[in-house]
Amino acid sequence: MVNAHDLLWGMSPAHLPADAPGWAQRAIGTVVVRRAVVAPGFVAVGVRGRLREQRFAAVMPIDAVQRRVAPEALCEVVSTRDLPALHALDQLRPVLAPLSWGVTGSAGFELATGIEALHAQSDLDLILRMPKPLDRSDARDLLATLDKAVCVVDMQLQTPLGAVALREWAGPSRQVLLKTASGARLVLDPWQAVA
């Protein structure tokens, strides 16, 4: 079973549609699972290019997957590169150790592939698996800890129904944006999807 933010190997240019940009054809190798409804036997993926704006949505046959790396598998991977996002990761490892968390985004891609995707202004993207509800005051405490890191840290809370930004759940708005495979919607409780 694959989840959003997992990294997959095995996609080939033949799996891309004919209208895929040339950079996507060249970037094929490791793709990231994205949230979308697709036909049985396929998984929704994103191809990432060298530039931030180079992102291409595609689908990959599940039987083409040769390797899968979940964000949780990257928690203890250490890089020798001297970048704020990697320093922030070093800072936060002991704090997050008791939790079910993982590294996503550019940092996760770089740690999993060895391909340099981070730069000095990169945020650190993390995911926290939250099968049970997180009290909003606890969310504020966690956000305050993350905000002490040496760069901006964006954490998604993965609930059984989708994902919500920790920063949003810790904020004052009654409704928050829940990202699901069928799209994003405003809810009062991302663990119950109450609109």
Give the type of residue at 93.
R
User: Among the options 6, 90, 125, 147, which is catalytic?
Assistant: 125
User: Active-site residue 189, yes or no?
Assistant: no
Whether 72 and 101 have beta carbons less than 8 Å apart is answered as yes
Residue 195 has pLDDT above 60, yes or no: no
Give the type of residue at 138.
D
Q: Return the domain boundaries, the chain.
A: 7-69, 71-187
- pLDDT, tens digit, 9 for 90 and up, residues 87-129: 999 999 999 999 999 999 999 999 999 999 999 999 999 999 9
Lookup: tokens for 69: 């790396």
User: Among the options 63, 123, 138, 147, which is catalytic?
Assistant: 123
- pLDDT, tens digit, 9 for 90 and up, residues 31-77: 999 999 999 999 999 999 887 788 999 999 999 999 999 999 999 99
- pTM, rounded to two decimals: 0.93
User: Active-site residue 135, yes or no?
Assistant: no
Judged by DSSP in three states, 75 sits in coil
- pLDDT, tens digit, 9 for 90 and up, residues 170-193: 999 999 999 999 999 999 999 996
Sheet of strand 153-159, all strands in order from the earlier edge strand to the far edge: 101-104, 124-129, 153-159, 162-165, 176-180, 183-187
